[in-house]
């Protein structure tokens, strides 16, 4: 017996629009595996689901021991978990999860890497899942670029994203009216952290940064002034982490929230 099921929502994106073309992207290894292992260790079952029902692509930029504090043993364990653990390989589609029923899920976790900026933030099925979790006050945790995925809960998420890409923030704000997370305190990968990725990994500029996007949606965005230092913000059922270094902190806060929710269910 487990305490309950947790939905881990992955992305299927491998490329992201940048100014002047496309860049490679994916999901971050540590941001996925560290919380997933903590959720399992706390006695919960994991269901990994993506829009297409296929396993996410790991961004090569994250495939390094540096994201595990230089601990080669932890890095090797994470790679083995991602490659071999049944929970990481029995991937479902978001649609199939909805059709089976969302009531049995105790909470939702969305890891980062830039991939969620491509598909998850405008995915209609994820929007259905998020609105369910919000309505039931189920713990919902998102890490790094992952928090941008909560814009999927808008009625017109694809149009909102398109407005951000062309720089029409006024239209984006109008499209965001009625967003369930308006007024929530949250964090996300900062603009200054994004510039490091743009300069050293993408070698191109993004069309928009994450804090301004969530602010246009109606969120109260709080980022740490120290780049790449752990930072987690919790407001009601929503738990957000700013960057890859926040992986252990958000895992602990999410598990605690799951346990609290279970105790009051």
What pLDDT shows up at residue 72?
A: 98
Q: At what angle do helices 247-264 and 29-41 cross, to 10 degrees?
A: 40
Which positions ≥6 away from 227 have C-beta within 8 Å? 190, 192, 193, 196, 243
What pLDDT shows up at residue 84?
A: 98
Is the confidence at residue 1, as pLDDT, over 90? no
What pLDDT shows up at residue 265?
A: 81
50 contacts 14 by C-beta, under 8 angstroms? no
What pLDDT shows up at residue 244?
A: 98
Q: Give percent above pLDDT 70 in the chain.
A: 100
Query: Quick one: average pLDDT of 39-56?
Result: 98
Q: How confident is the model at residue 110 (pLDDT cuts 50, 70, 90)?
A: very high
Is the confidence at residue 87, as pLDDT, over 90? yes
Query: Quick one: average pLDDT of 103-118?
Result: 98
The model's pTM: 0.98
Tell me if the domain spanning 5-264 has CATH number 3.40.250.10. no
DSSP string, the chain: --S-EEEEE-----EEEETTEEEE--B-HHHHHHHHHHHHHTT-EEEEEESSSSPPPBPGGG-SGGGGTT-HHHHHHHHHHHHH-GGGTS-EEHHHHHHH-STTEEEEEE--SSGGGTTGGG-HHHHHHHHHHHHTT--EEEETTGGGGGGGGSTTHHHHHHHHHTT-HHHHHHHTTT-TTTT-EE----HHHHHHHIIIIISS--SS-HHHHHHHHT-EE---SSTTS--EEEETTEEEE-SGGGHHHHHHHHHHHHHHHHHH-
What pLDDT shows up at residue 129?
A: 98
Which positions ≥6 away from 129 have C-beta within 8 Å? 7, 9, 94, 97, 98, 102, 108
Q: What is the pLDDT of residues 9-45, one digit of tens each?
A: 999 999 999 999 999 999 999 999 999 999 999 999 9
Q: What is the pLDDT of residues 157-203, one digit of tens each?
A: 999 999 999 999 999 999 999 999 999 999 999 999 999 999 999 99
Phi, psi dihedrals of residue 8, rounded to the nearest 5°: -100, 120
Average confidence score pLDDT of the chain: 97
């Amino acid at each position: 017996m487990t305490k309950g099921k947790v939905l881990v929502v992955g992305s299927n994106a491998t490329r992201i629009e940048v100014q002047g073309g496309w860049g490679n992207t994916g999901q971050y290894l540590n941001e996925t595996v560290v919380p997933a292992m903590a959720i399992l260790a706390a006695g919960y079952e994991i269901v990994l689901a993506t829009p297409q029902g296929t396993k996410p692509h790991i961004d090569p930029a994250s495939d390094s021991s540096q994201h595990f504090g230089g601990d080669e043993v932890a890095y090797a364990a994470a790679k083995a978990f991602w490659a071999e653990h049944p929970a990481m390989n029995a991937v479902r589609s978001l649609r199939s999860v909805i059709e089976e029923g969302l009531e049995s899920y105790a909470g939702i976790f969305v890891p980062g890497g830039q991939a969620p900026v491509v598909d998850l933030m405008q995915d209609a099925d994820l929007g259905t899942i998020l609105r369910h979790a919000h309505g039931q006050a189920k713990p919902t945790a998102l890490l790094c670029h992952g928090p941008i995925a909560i814009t999927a809960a808008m009625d017109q998420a694809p149009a909102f994203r398109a407005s951000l890409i062309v720089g029409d923030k006024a239209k984006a704000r109008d499209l965001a009216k009625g967003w369930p997370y308006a007024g929530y305190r949250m964090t996300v990968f900062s603009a200054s952290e994004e510039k490091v990725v743009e300069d050293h990994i993408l070698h191109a500029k993004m069309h928009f940064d994450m804090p301004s996007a969530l602010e246009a949606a109606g969120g109260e965005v709080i980022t740490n002034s120290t780049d790449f230092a752990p930072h987690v913000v919790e407001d009601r059922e929503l738990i957000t982490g700013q960057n890859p270094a926040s992986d252990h902190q958000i895992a602990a806060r999410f598990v605690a929230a799951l346990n609290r929710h279970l105790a009051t269910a």
